[in-house]
Amino acid sequence: MQELDASVQQKVNTWLNGNYDAGVKQQIQKLLDDKAYTEITDSFYRDLEFGTGGLRGTMGPGSNRINKYTIGAATQGLCNHLKKTYPGEKVKVAISHDSRNNSDLFARITAEVFSANDVHVYFFKELRPTPELSFAIRHLGCKSGVMITASHNPKEYNGYKAYGADGGQFVSPEDVAVMDEVAAIASVDDIKFNRVEANIELIGEEIDKLYLDAITTLSVSPEAIKRQKDLKIVYSPIHGTGITLMPKALAQFGFNNVTIVEEQATPDGNFPTVIYPNPEEKEALTLAMKKAKEIDADLVLATDPDADRVGIAVKNTAGEWVLLNGNQTGSLLINYLLTAWQERGKLTGKEYIVKTIVTSNLIEQIANAKGVKFFNTLTGFKYIGELMTQLSGKETFIGGGEESYGYLIGEFVRDKDAIVSGAFIAEMTAFYKDKGSSLFEALVETYLEYGFYKETLISITKKGQSGAQEIKAMMEQYRNNPPKTLGGSKVIALKDYEFRVETDLDTNTTKPIDLPKSDVLQFISEDGTVVSARPSGTEPKIKFYCSVNTKLANKNAFAETEAVLDKKIEVVMKDLGL
């Protein structure tokens, strides 16, 4: 009886008989001996592909796993692309890695393959945040760069983020060109693994200084910081790269009362104090919030392993510590930035902000009220970076972000940046404290002025080949049978980003969506409720983003209004069968 699909068996045979390390072959043989056919199938049924976050997966042997050979093939394909794109040039790249298990090994392999292909490698000698890599690519005049990270995924994961010459992740058509080159690596023998020492140059503290000096120039409220320099900040890097830059950034901005969560200060790929090293998860901030209560802090900051995302906690009006979600923090940041720019007469009409299509429309309301140009992009920060590059030199990017806790201020980087964001969240806290207010009170004021927007995210995990098929079937079902109502409000529009068309369900008329193709569906109701359905590009999940809103009558009605919106979200999710 055939236990493995023929194509899977063929790939397994290629690895068992090819020029792979003996240890890898032993791992595969053990899976065969144990008849672990489901795991073997998942390890070999496809080649890892670039999604919105690049190459990402669990570590282990196989074409659908992160290992020396998939990392090597990705790098060789990227080398081949760069050689074709920049013929006759000595191509330069930058490489960094996070604190994950094997990240340093995979970074070294990446550097070795680049060097063997006569590419000059600027290699961070120690772990560093993703945004610093983006900065280094731009500063050092590189044509590309690679960050070895799986961001906030569980410890079994690792990944490979590939960047273009602008310091942003590759976008269409270049991402496809790179994928084609990777797919064209027909054999492990096509990969050059032999290190050429002369092509590898170590970098570190000198880039730290340049980056920190650059982001410090962006500060809009230095006077408020001077008056509030003793602001009590608790910071956790959650065992990641943030420890290398965040304390320095806060100090350079002018904050001198920062308490680091010692239990989470040491980089560790096993993430021993958390279930998931993700600042979106309440559990990951437990130790930081405990410390904040102990010292009666003003602000809690926590960054993920590669320090591109930041989560925060603040005290509410009852003195209780509460976590803000990514939409709330993003809205606060944009409102603060535009207010501070406006107060200083810096708005000239040439400025703009950006968010993604699944991020709160509260940000759009704020931008419109302040008369600042606003853009929506597809999910994935690479699209924000792409827009920034297109507008560079013509208009000024103030800030932007996405609901998944990723933000950027200023134009020095082309990816989400928890370091500059953390510094500005601290600055924003000082700005409001200087006015006798708090971040929580500023959030309530924002809702009073622009409407109370409440968002939630539901992620459904469907692992393996069968899971991918289930997710596809779910999207088809929603596409062909959109909900008639959401929380009692009639659905009046369907946006299908896969077919790049928006349908008015009342008149059955359509209009084009001026964004690249993406497998996302959005349902919009009469009362402004928005639900977006989107398969993740980097994880075996389908995600549902729900946004509801209403007027906030007065500050005292906050808790009552929030409860009404929470109930509405429950009803909306039932309408979707979730």
Q: Name the residues annotated as catalytic.
A: 151
- Residue at 571: amino acid letter: V
Strands 521-525, 530-535: pairing kind: antiparallel
Q: How far apart are CA 247 and CA 241, in angstroms?
A: 11
Question: By the 8 A CB rule, do 121 and 114 touch?
Answer: yes
Cα angle 386-390-396, degrees, rounded to a multiple of 5: 100
Report how far residue 428's alpha carbon sits from residue 339's, in angstroms, rounded to the nearest whole number.
11
Is-contact 134 413, C-beta < 8 A? yes
HSE-up (13 A, CA, CB side) for residue 371: 7
Q: How far is CA 217 from the centre of its chain?
A: 24
Q: Establish how many alpha carbons lie within 13 A of residue 393's alpha carbon, considering only the half-sphere containing its beta carbon.
A: 2
Cβ 336 vs Cβ 431: under 8 Å: yes
C-alpha dist (Å) from residue 471 to 45, 71, 458, 531, 541: 17, 27, 14, 17, 8
Q: Give every strand in the sheet of 258-260, ordered side by side.
A: 258-260, 233-236, 299-303, 310-315, 321-324
Give the single-character DSSP code of 305. T
Tokens of 149: 């990270």
- Chain-centre distance for alpha carbon 365: 23
Pairing relationship of beta strands 396-402 and 406-409 according to DSSP bridges:
antiparallel
CB 121 within 8 A of CB 234: no
Q: Please tell me the distance from the alpha carbon of residue 154 to that of residue 206, in angstroms, as a whole number.
A: 32
Residues in the chain: 578
